[in-house]
């Protein structure tokens, strides 16, 4: 199956609440690779690769988890997979 990349920017009260650690934990249940990191403007960026179905299910799992209540807005950008990730990491 074709792999894709999705970049999701989360706004709201998403820093200082364990958001990145929960996203990494959720990622282990899906066949996705990527990273999650805090941005200087208070948002969290999630970049991950996998099949479209896996990515959509993973993003929905983030929304449905206990950290979903901190999300006020999402901005999603889809693209082609670059196959640059090994595993799933938290950065900065």
Q: Identify the DSSP state of 26.
A: H
Confidence of residue 64 (pLDDT cuts 50, 70, 90): very high
14-47 pLDDT, tens digit per residue, is 999 999 999 999 999 999 999 999 999 999 999 9
**CA distances (Å), origin 34, targets 16, 40, 50, 85, 88:** 21, 19, 9, 5, 5
Q: Which CATH number covers residue 26? A: 3.30.70.100
Which pTM was predicted?
Answer: 0.94
Q: Which one is catalytic: 38, 69, 73, 86?
A: 38
In a domain? residue 90? no
In a domain? residue 22? yes
Q: How many domains does the chain have?
A: 1
Q: Which one is catalytic: 8, 20, 73, 83?
A: 20
In a domain? residue 27? yes
Range of the domain at 54: 3-85
pLDDT reported for residue 92: 78
Let me know if 38 is a catalytic residue: yes
Let me know if 20 is a catalytic residue: yes
In a domain? residue 58? yes
Backbone angles phi, psi at 41, to 5 degrees: -85, 10
């Amino acid at each position: 199956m074709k792999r894709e990349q999705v970049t999701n920017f989360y706004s709201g009260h998403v820093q200082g609440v364990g958001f990145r650690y929960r996203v990494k934990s959720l990622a282990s249940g899906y066949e996705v690779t990527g990273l999650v990191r805090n941005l200087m403007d208070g948002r969290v960026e999630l970049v991950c690769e996998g099949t479209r179905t896996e990515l959509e299910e993973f993003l929905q799992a983030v929304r449905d988890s206990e950290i979903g209540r901190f999300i006020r807005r999402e901005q999603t950008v889809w693209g082609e997979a670059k196959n640059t990730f090994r595993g799933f990491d938290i950065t900065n």
